[in-house]
Structure 1
Amino acid sequence: MKTSIVGFPRVGELRELKFATEKYFRKEITAEELEKKGKELRTKHWQLLVDQGIDFIPSGDFSFFDATLDTAVLLNIVPEKYQALQLSPLETYFALARGYQGEAGDVTALAMKKWFNTNYHYMVPEIDDETELKLVGDKLFTNFNEAKAAGIITRPTIIGPFTLLKLATYHGSKQADDFYEAAIAAYAQIFDQLAELGCEWLQIDEPALVLDLSPAEVQQFKGLYQTLLAKKGNLNILVQTYFGDVRDAYQELIALPFDGIGLDFVEGRKTVELLQEYGFPNDKLLFAGVVNGKNIWKNNYQETLTLLEKIQSFGDIVLNTSCSLLHVPFTLANESVLAKEVTDHFAFAVEKLAELNDLKKIVTDKEGNQRLLDTNIALFGQQRFSRNEQVAKQVEALSEKDFVRQPALSERAIVQKDKLKLPILPTTTIGSFPQTKEVKQNRAKFKKGEISETEYTIFNQEKIAECITFQEKIGLDVLVHGEFERNDMVEYFGESLAGYLFTEKAWVQSYGTRCVKPPIIWGDVSRSNPITVAYSKYAQTLTEKPMKGMLTGPVTILNWSFPREDISLRESTLQLALAIQEEVLDLEANGIEIIQIDEAALREKLPLRQTDWHSEYLDWAIPAFRLVHSKVRPTTQIHTHMCYSEFADIIQDIDNMDADVISFEASRSNLDILDALKAIDFQTQVGPGVYDIHSPRVPSIEEIEATIHNILNKLPIEKIWVNPDCGLKTRGVPETEASLKNLVLAAKKVRGGI
């Protein structure tokens, strides 16, 4: 029996790639120096996998920004406006990822969306009728040769043509199947070049197979690979799926001449059932995803062995991760604060490699490795923590009326309009302002005990005052305090919630150079003390304008944490909702009349199959949000914010959240959501983002003005707010100030022209 992983974290043990790439952006290092750092990390990671005894070692999963973007660039899927800049290949790559504004021209970045049901974001390839899909890059081959030069034979990995073309956006009359022939030729060329280099296996990722597929799409997949696999020669092809089961295409999949098939036994609810019903070919390797690549809890060996007993009869098995380890932190080795009694229950990426090896040893020689199994059984036999009976009773006592706010939205809109007296097209921001080096240093000094709490607070209050002065000066209508006290929109709240644990260095890539450090839900959750009240109350004393209280909603807190596995996601979310409800009512009692409860990650745990959307998720996720604000006064205006997901297909459910105002990320998706809002006569006031904050470029007044007019062409003016598409935490101060000035001036110009 052999071991394998789908992919490995690429930012490095201590985020080395993030810091090197950001230095490159700031022109502090050259492209050559950045490439050198990338090569160092790749080699280090390959050797780590060798040392940990992994048999199938991936290459090609390393990326300076995003693997889907890498595949698009490899295959010449680069729109003309980026090619026209005539930049170097690396600069063009980053222009696609981040936008570009300089002497060569001015272009926005590609759209960015959530990668299936994860918190990772991928860059959406853009294809028009003139796109010539062909092999033009060499990344896959140079990475393989790098590893080979180090004495390591790897298995290159690439996004498959079916998934790539399904996820792309199309500008023109052509659609995915119009590019199948070109894709087959390009991938066949990849086969040939890898075979010439001495490559034995190629991993082709086709996660789109776990989605709802129509019979026509299944036939498209079948036809695509019947032709393509005829060209594979002696190269072994592994088709890798993850994030669910492949029930719609399983029979077609196992009939195709793949040499290996990777199936997810963690999130794939019907994977075992599919094997039992239809079997598995004895001429293929089954890459069994039995170690969870998305959560940080240790593998229960006894449960996994029971699973393996069910499937071993179907042929040769390779022990595999359920998905790429990109979605978990690098290693527990850097965690010095958490007690061993706690960390014994966790496995990050490096530790999951050890789990694969343990399972291999137990399966192949149980008698000789009984100690490994006994230790794991003893761990899972322990009681981790004591339940909070009060929290359990609160959740149990909830009734239907706890999830309904009175009066109705239309009545609240009238009283809020009279109370707040805002102009048409009110302007605001999503919440956070740039976290400068000084802001981060102040927080770090306080955490290390180098400054007192008073000194820490005074600094933050000074920054808040500066932020409010700026907002008033440029004329924003609804202000924010800037969130200078916050490290992360989930971790900050978790620090005041009982039942949470925090790591020191457990960073996970969210997109590009953006990394997050998800907290861990260890036990029952309750609010220990007020979280945001003091700073929001202070900020309101500095202005006559409305000050938004800024909170993170319960669904997002859950989705951006590592959740428990011993209770349902529903129960965990309701615990969080009750805790945040207390904070909402405290803000209201302290004079905050507008409260934003962000649900940026609402869609993240939405089941990938539409038949499961309501029963398994929306039927409790939407009510959990309503529970948070159901007790506030009619005059208190509730906002929420959502970003970087496809919301059009759940837009009615979003309207049912019963917020008063919802802001959406919309700029990178070219305001596509407007049609969905119009189609259902969306009742909630809405703020579609008018410019992209994940790019350093500054939008002009005319650009934002045109965007506002595009919005007004589809939605009534009395329902529209004007705001950026997300928080400004990651941006620099000069570009933020310039962009917001232009935003306010554009809104005023539109008002003046009406």
Structure 2
Amino acid sequence: MLKHNLGYPRIGVKRELKKACELYWTNKIDSHTLFEVGKKIREENWKTQELANLDLIPCNDFSFYDQVLDMSFLLGVIPESYLSIPMIKNRIDLYFSMARGFQKNKWDIKALEMTKWFNTNYHYIVPEFNKNQKFSIFSNKIFDELEESERILKSIKKIKPVLIGPISYLFLGKEKDNSFHRMDLIEDLVTVYIKIINKLIDKGINWIQLDEPILVLDMTKKEKEAFQYAYKKISKTCSNINILLTSYFDGILDNISLFKSFFVKALHIDLVEDSNQLEKIINFIKESEMILSLGIIDGRNIWKNNYTDSINKIKKTIEFIGEDRVMIAPNCSLLHVPIDIEEEKNLHKEVKKIMSFSKQKIYELNDLDLILKGNKEILLKNSSLLEQSKISSIFHNKKIKERATKIKEEDIRRKNPFYIRQEKQKKKFNLPIFPTTTIGSFPQTKEIRSLRNKFRKKELTKEEYNKKIKYFIIDVIKKQEKIGLDVLVHGEFERSDMVEYFSEKLNGIMSTNNGWVQSYGSRCVKPPIIYGDVSRTGDMTVDWICFAQSQTKKLMKGMLTGPVTILKWSFVRNDQPISHTAYQIAWAIREEVLSLEKSGIQIIQIDEPAIREGLPLKKKNWEYYFNWAIKSFLISSSGVKDETQIHTHMCYSEFNDFLEKIANLDADVITMETSRSKMELLKAFSVFSYPNEIGPGVYDIHSPRIPSVEEILDLIKKASKELPIKNIWINPDCGLKTRKWEEVLKALKNMTSAAKIARTKLYNQSP
């Protein structure tokens, strides 16, 4: 039985990669120094996995920004606009320009579109294909890292290069125009994949991992045909290498019949997300010679593996197909969990006992191997820990559990429909056409981060800390007033992260010190841990928002994170239905909303950027998800008066298939990211005749480039063709925390200028 891993985190234990990339982008280090940081992280990763006795260790799972962008670079899928920039002299700058855009002298090129990686909080750079797309081996990264890993591990036999499979790669991209379908490119693409695989074979590789997460989706006929063409060709042409074809994030039963027409050495399935598929998969492959890789360690959550459950699955598989045809691994790449639990010194001991980060998870594979070989002590210790947690008051509160499920109809309905509320709000607020606002956060400078760090270390008193935060709030209000924004925010300077902040103020949730996970590029987040029943102990935001409102005559938004996003951007307890946890959080947020309203705050934003990513990958599971997700939002938002305006914000959301569900949220204003896709998303809202107000993003905050007035005005014009002008807000794509002040001030000034011009040109209203 082989033990292997699908991928390891690449940010470094102390976020070394993040820091190095940001220094490189600001010209504080050269490319050689950047590459040395990457090399050191890779070496540490390989050695860690070797010490855990893995039989196969992944290579090419490291990336300076994103693995999908790496694949585009390997295959030469680079738009001509980036290749034509004369100031770019090396490939790493070309690579980063695709991810971050390029703005220098007369050159102003946007970054490629970015969206969520399936139903995770990881973001990838979307490949862009043209009708006559040609593929070639453009980058040597995979081959260089293979040689590097061989020097470290001293054995080519242990190394398993990782590539995104050809069908998933095409699926993850987009066509530049509607004259072709990207799956039509499969023939030329597979030819290059075969060249890459043969080149790896020449270097002595025995195993290669091809990731095809598309297998867990509702594949179209065209995608299935492309899949069968690709793997018939690959399996026939590359028969002298062991191909491990991986799927993850859900089950593959709906697409298992695809494997009837070709043979790969091993198939990896996700038994964390869909354990029910095991028996049918075994029955499908038992007459073949195919190896089955069991994804039994949870690569998306931080709880210890239930060894009893995993051993039962392994034994069942061995019984039917034999031990030599079984592999064990995490269900997906460990990219989605922090690196080492031993870096956490301040966690509650009882909770920490049942937690496992990336390093611990690969050792769990070794534990399972030892248990199968007769070590009962490991199994008993694991069972005892998990049993203790089932009865501990640290994890369970009966009153909160009962409250969460007692939901009445009046708890999830506003008093009146939107059209009545809209008239009352317009009369009360008297905002101009195309009102301008931002999504919430403003730049978190080194000074602010240092201030927060000193407060945590108790180098500042609470009074000193609050005084300094108030100074920043006053300053950001003045900046917004000078820019001319219509609805202001307080900047969120007291918040390190939009979810972590609330986790520190709610019972049943805790934060880590070093539990960093990559979100995109150099952006890392620390997902909180929902370990117990969740409740609110008191006001969480009211004092800060009310202080901010006292400093301006303009409307100040109250800023909250919604229940679905807190849930999805945390590591969630796995001992009760996820809906119960969502309702608990929703009741806590509702209490905060009502407290803000009582304190005089008239506009309250409940951010739900994770609504889309929480969507199950299979449509048959959507109804259950929407039932509890929408109900959770409505619990949190529905207790207010008609005159109180509820906003929500959503990220990277392709809403076409479920606009009715989004409308059921009944938020007075929804803001979303649309600038990179050039307002394409709004066509769906127009066809659906979405009834409420919308703020389509006109400023891409994930890139350092500054959009011009003309560019923003063009986006407003596009929005005005799709939506009623009276319903349109003007705002950035997302929060501004990661940007620099010099970028933000110029971009927002251009945004408000464009809105004023639009009021005159599009609505004949003087600015």
How far off its partner does 1:362 sit? 1.0
Residue type of the partner of 2:199?
Answer: Q
Q: Secondary structure at the match of 1:263?
A: strand
Residue type of the partner of 1:101?
Answer: Q
Q: 1:47 maps to which residue? A: 47
Q: 2:142 maps to which residue? A: 140
Aligned equivalents of 1:426, 1:418: Cα separation in 2: 14
1:360 aligns to 2:386 (yes or no):
no
Q: 1:187 maps to which residue? A: 193
Count of residue pairs brought into register by the alignment: 750
Q: 2:685 maps to which residue? A: 677
Task: Point out the more displaced range, 151-160 or 635-644.
Answer: 151-160
1:528 aligns to 2:534 (yes or no):
no
Task: Point out the more displaced range, 666-675 or 454-463.
Answer: 666-675
Aligned equivalents of 1:177, 1:601: Cα separation in 2: 29
1:416 to 395, 411, 425: 425
Q: 2:115 maps to which residue? A: 113
1:584 aligns to 2:584 (yes or no):
no
Q: 1:155 maps to which residue? A: 160
Does the 8 Å CA contact 2:351/2:531 hold for their aligned counterparts?
A: no
Question: What's the TM-score once normalised by structure 1's chain length?
Answer: 0.98
Does the 8 Å CA contact 1:533/1:587 hold for their aligned counterparts?
A: yes
Aligned equivalents of 1:103, 1:622: Cα separation in 2: 47
1:724 to 694, 709, 732: 732
How far off its partner does 1:203 sit? 0.6
Aligned equivalents of 2:595, 2:461: Cα separation in 1: 26
1:221 to 222, 227, 240: 227
Cα 1:94–1:281 change in 2 (3 A) is farther
Q: 2:415 maps to which residue? A: 406
Aligned equivalents of 2:465, 2:136: Cα separation in 1: 56
Q: 2:355 maps to which residue? A: 346
Does the 8 Å CA contact 2:174/2:182 hold for their aligned counterparts?
A: no
Please provide the CA RMSD for this pair.
1.2
Does the 8 Å CA contact 2:443/2:736 hold for their aligned counterparts?
A: yes
1:647 to 651, 655, 660: 655
Residue type of the partner of 1:71?
Answer: M
1:429 aligns to 2:435 (yes or no):
no
Q: Secondary structure at the match of 1:113?
A: strand
Cα 1:152–1:436 change in 2 (3 A) is farther
Residue type of the partner of 2:478?
Answer: T
1:695 aligns to 2:697 (yes or no):
no
Residue type of the partner of 1:100?
Answer: F
Residue type of the partner of 1:230?
Answer: K
How far off its partner does 1:270 sit? 4.0
How far off its partner does 1:281 sit? 4.7
Residue type of the partner of 1:716?
Answer: P
Q: 1:123 maps to which residue? A: 125
Q: Secondary structure at the match of 1:44?
A: helix
1:706 to 714, 729, 738: 714
1:230 aligns to 2:224 (yes or no):
no
Q: Secondary structure at the match of 2:27?
A: coil
Aligned counterparts, 1:82-101, within 5 A: 82-86=82-86, 87=88, 88-101=90-103
Aligned equivalents of 2:289, 2:405: Cα separation in 1: 52
How far off its partner does 1:132 sit? 1.3
Listed as ranges, the gaps of 5+ residues in structure 2 are none
Identity of aligned residues (%): 44
Aligned equivalents of 1:378, 1:164: Cα separation in 2: 43
Cα 1:282–1:276 change in 2 (3 A) is closer
Residue type of the partner of 2:754?
Answer: A
How far off its partner does 1:130 sit? 3.6
Residue type of the partner of 2:148?
Answer: E
1:752 aligns to 2:757 (yes or no):
no
Does the 8 Å CA contact 2:183/2:223 hold for their aligned counterparts?
A: no
- The one-character-per-residue Cα deviations of 1:199-243 (angstroms, maximum 9, x if unpaired) are 111111000010001344323211221112211141211111111
Residue type of the partner of 1:613?
Answer: W
Aligned equivalents of 1:600, 1:281: Cα separation in 2: 46
How far off its partner does 1:598 sit? 0.1
Cα 1:585–1:339 change in 2 (3 A) is closer
How far off its partner does 1:516 sit? 0.5
2:302 to 296, 302, 325: 296
Q: 2:321 maps to which residue? A: 314
Residue type of the partner of 1:505?
Answer: N
Aligned equivalents of 2:234, 2:351: Cα separation in 1: 49
How far off its partner does 1:393 sit? 2.8
Cα 1:670–1:280 change in 2 (3 A) is farther
1:479 aligns to 2:450 (yes or no):
no
Residue type of the partner of 1:474?
Answer: I
Aligned equivalents of 2:477, 2:297: Cα separation in 1: 49
How far off its partner does 1:47 sit? 1.0
Residue type of the partner of 2:455?
Answer: F
1:395 aligns to 2:400 (yes or no):
no
Cα 1:155–1:742 change in 2 (3 A) is same
Q: 2:556 maps to which residue? A: 547
Question: What's the TM-score once normalised by structure 2's chain length?
Answer: 0.96
Does the 8 Å CA contact 2:208/2:242 hold for their aligned counterparts?
A: yes
Residue type of the partner of 2:193?
Answer: Y
How far off its partner does 1:397 sit? 2.4
- The one-character-per-residue Cα deviations of 1:382-405 (angstroms, maximum 9, x if unpaired) are 135323232223223211221111
Residue type of the partner of 1:699?
Answer: P
Aligned equivalents of 1:255, 1:507: Cα separation in 2: 42
Aligned equivalents of 1:618, 1:644: Cα separation in 2: 18
Listed as ranges, the gaps of 5+ residues in structure 1 are none
1:492 to 501, 505, 510: 501
Does the 8 Å CA contact 2:612/2:652 hold for their aligned counterparts?
A: no
- The one-character-per-residue Cα deviations of 1:38-61 (angstroms, maximum 9, x if unpaired) are 111111111111111111100001
